[in-house]
Amino acid sequence: MAGEMAALGVEDVKAILDERAWSPRQLDEHTLRCTLESEAGEIRLVVRHAGPWLYLAVLPFLDAAGLKPWGGGKFPPRFLGRILAVNYNLTLVKFALDDDGDLTLRAELPTESMQRGEVEVALDLLVGVTQQYRIPVRDALLDAGRATERPSLLPPAPASHPPLASDEPIDHGPSIEAHEPKVDLASDPLPREP
């Protein structure tokens, strides 16, 4: 039909990577991997054509060897909050945790109407964001990790959730009780000066 686009397949994506001289290696019939050298260190890019979706990822985003004890699903909560804030400012690519709990930078494109230019933009963003954010993200992780190692000067936060419901009757009184005032309001008048 006129106006219909042919869907991009694995070979088309491989051709895009070859044109960039990224030397893609085919891991299986649906998955390609490239290793690129950059100012921010080695970028391991994985591209998987999964039928209706094309998944592109820098995997892992951070080098696990330099992050001990963090990584593999263990991250300080403060760090994950910072990653969510960064995601808010990113377009097309987002940080996520993979199945092993490692930080990754991902893009997902629907293959049904995908155009070559969209793949190229996603690839450019993955590499560009990695170069821009790898060192600041690593530093934020290490900073958040140091903050969790220091004892807090603040008292522990009170529980923000109600106690679990129980069928047992409550055998103690309410936590706040109101009493009659104990102040004697009748008093002698104050002496006046002459």
The domain spans of the chain are 10-148
DSSP 60: S
92-111 mean pLDDT:
92
- CA–CA separation, 181 and 67 (whole Å): 61
How far CA 112 is from CA of 10, 54, 169, 186, in Å, comes to 13, 10, 60, 86
Q: Is residue 164 scored above 80 in pLDDT?
A: no
- Count CB neighbours of 62 within 10 A: 20
Please give the residue that has the higher pLDDT: either 21 or 146: 21
- CA–CA separation, 107 and 47 (whole Å): 10
149-163 mean pLDDT:
52
- Angle, nearest 10°, between helix axes 116-149 and 77-89? 150
Which CATH fold topology does 10-148 show?
Yope Regulator; Chain: A, (3.30.1460)
pLDDT band at 185 (very low <50, low <70, confident <90, very high): very low
Q: Is residue 115 scored above 60 in pLDDT?
A: yes
The whole-chain average pLDDT of the chain stands at 80
**pTM, entire model:** 0.71
Q: How far apart are the first and last CA of the chain?
A: 111
What is residue 179's predicted lDDT score, i.e. its pLDDT? 45
For residue 194, which amino acid is it? P
Query: How are the residues of the chain apportioned to helix, strand and coil, as percentages rounded to the nearest 5?
Result: 30, 20, 45
Q: Which residue has the tokens 């001990």?
A: 68
- CA–CA separation, 119 and 54 (whole Å): 9
Minimum mean pLDDT range among 12-16, 62-66, 127-131, 145-149: 145-149
149-158 mean pLDDT:
52
What is residue 11's predicted lDDT score, i.e. its pLDDT? 92
Specify burial of residue 77 (Cβ count, 10 A radius: 0-12, 13-18, 19+): exposed
Question: Tens digits of per-residue pLDDT, 1-57?
Answer: 344 455 788 999 999 999 999 999 999 999 999 999 998 899 999 999 998 999 999
- Count CB neighbours of 13 within 10 A: 23
What is residue 178's predicted lDDT score, i.e. its pLDDT? 42
- Main-chain phi, psi angles of 6, to 5 degrees: -80, 135
